[in-house]
């Protein structure tokens, strides 16, 4: 019996091996590497006289970031704020904040972002040499539309930063962002210009003419200077795109955009713009349904200032503006930009819808009133 089992096992192995045999041709086929059919002509050369380019010497070196920082560092300040908010039980609590700024004038004039100091009841400015100064809300001048602000502190002979021409920047230029990231004190981080004349929606408005940079931007950097390799301020760090997988997308307000605003804040205390005297909101299907508006596209007026150009032109709450100076408007932001792009004392044509009827009126824009402090 044992002999029979061994015989059957051997037969199984033989049969299995027979099923796995590889058939090898008697005459090997010629190797493709050595085969040259007689009926194929060789390919024509592109250029028989061509020679490969010579290797170039890589002698260029990066600029000294340390030298750049040394020159502008004394002009950069850290800003600490205290904002009083209400908790879930409507009890007041103090919310600390941190930001950055830089000296534009030796007589204690500091430039920063509006969102750094907005709503702050206490603002503390610390210079690079360690000296600290307190600024009351009366010494803080803001322009929310441009996200810029100016702080006046009681100091003189401060090291003012040099200003550069942001219009001369090119994509790829080296820049350095200096500020107070995460409230941990002054830091510097290098990067390059990755985009110019960029627009970015921030908090229901759009900032335009921004510089996009790969320099690391973090909370607390806001208001600090973005400088070129000549240690000149060419932008004010303002925002960062944050998200999963997003890196190297920080933004700064260019000096071309910022300087006229800063100058107006210093000279007038506020920025003078054309004024219609309305509060606006973008209309969509939901807004139209809730407010029973006759159209679901345009800009609805939610408030008309008494005695304003809009009031004198006969505009009312819940009127929906659809065209301004002959151009269609679909968002509140778009209409605000159109108003600010007009001129003081300019008479503008406004088309609006009221009770399903489209009407036309004309308003004479005036100078915007000073903001309440």
Q: Cβ atoms within 10 A of the Cβ of 350, count?
A: 25
340 is catalytic: no
Q: What is the DSSP string of 307-327?
A: TSHHHHTT--TT-EEEEETTE
Collapsing DSSP to helix, strand or coil, 365 comes out as: coil
Catalytic residue among 80, 100, 115, 319: 115
Show Cβ contacts of residue 115 under 8 Å, excluding neighbours closer than 6 positions. Answer: 147, 203, 222
Residue whose pair of structure tokens reads 């006759």 in the numeric block:
294
Taking alpha carbons only, the member of 111, 123, 112 closest to residue 160 is 111
Catalytic residue among 147, 231, 238, 319: 147
Catalytic residue among 100, 194, 214, 222: 222
Show Cβ contacts of residue 101 under 8 Å, excluding neighbours closer than 6 positions. Answer: 76, 77, 78, 79, 110, 111, 112, 116, 125, 151, 223, 224
| Cα(274)–Cα(272) distance, integer angstroms | 7
User: Do residues 108 and 101 lie in contact, with contact meaning Cβ atoms separated by under 8 Å?
Assistant: no
303 is catalytic: no
For residue 263 the two structure tokens come to: 């100058």
Residue whose pair of structure tokens reads 């210079």 in the numeric block:
127
Residue whose pair of structure tokens reads 């910022």 in the numeric block:
258
| Cα(73)–Cα(294) distance, integer angstroms | 57
For residue 219 the two structure tokens come to: 């909370």
115 is catalytic: yes
- What phi and psi values does residue 169 have, to the nearest 5 degrees? -70, 150
Show Cβ contacts of residue 338 under 8 Å, excluding neighbours closer than 6 positions. Answer: 324, 325, 327, 329
Catalytic residue ranges: 115, 147, 222
């Amino acid at each position: 019996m044992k002999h029979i089992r061994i015989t059957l096992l051997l037969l199984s192995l033989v049969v299995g091996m027979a099923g796995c045999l590889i058939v090898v041709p008697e005459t090997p086929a010629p190797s493709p590497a050595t085969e040259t059919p007689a009926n194929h002509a060789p390919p024509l050369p592109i250029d028989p006289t061509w020679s490969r380019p010579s290797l170039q010497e890589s002698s260029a070196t990066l600029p000294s970031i340390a030298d750049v920082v040394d020159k502008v560092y004394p002009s950069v300040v850290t800003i600490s704020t205290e904002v009083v908010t209400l908790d879930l039980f409507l009890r007041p609590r103090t919310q600390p904040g941190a930001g950055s700024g830089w000296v534009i004038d030796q007589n204690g004039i500091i430039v920063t972002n509006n969102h750094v100091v907005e709503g702050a009841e206490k603002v503390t400015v610390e210079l690079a040499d360690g000296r600290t100064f307190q600024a009351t809300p009366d010494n803080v001048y803001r322009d929310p539309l441009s996200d810029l602000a100016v702080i006046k502190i009681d100091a003189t002979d401060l090291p003012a930063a040099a200003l550069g021409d942001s219009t001369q920047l090119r994509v790829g230029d080296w820049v350095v962002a200096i500020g107070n990231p995460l409230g941990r004190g002054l830091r510097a981080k290098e990067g390059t210009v990755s985009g110019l004349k960029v627009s970015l929606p921030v908090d229901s408005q759009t900032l335009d003419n921004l510089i996009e940079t790969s320099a690391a931007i973090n909370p607390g950097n806001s208001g600090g200077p973005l400088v070129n390799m000549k240690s000149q301020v060419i932008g004010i760090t303002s925002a960062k795109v944050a998200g999963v997988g997003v890196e190297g997308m920080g933004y700064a307000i260019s000096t071309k955009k910022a300087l006229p605003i800063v100058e107006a804040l210093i000279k007038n205390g506020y920025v003078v713009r054309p004024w219609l005297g309305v509060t606006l909101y973008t209309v969509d299907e939901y807004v139209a349904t809730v407010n029973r508006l006759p159209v679901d596209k345009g800009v609805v007026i939610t408030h008309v200032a008494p005695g304003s150009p809009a009031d004198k032109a006969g505009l009312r709450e819940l009127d929906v503006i659809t065209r301004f100076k002959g151009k269609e408007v679909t968002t509140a932001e778009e209409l605000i930009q159109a108003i600010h792009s007009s001129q003081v004392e300019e008479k503008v044509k406004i088309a609006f819808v009221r009770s399903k009827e489209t009407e036309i009126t004309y308003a004479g824009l005036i100078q915007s009133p000073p903001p309440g402090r």
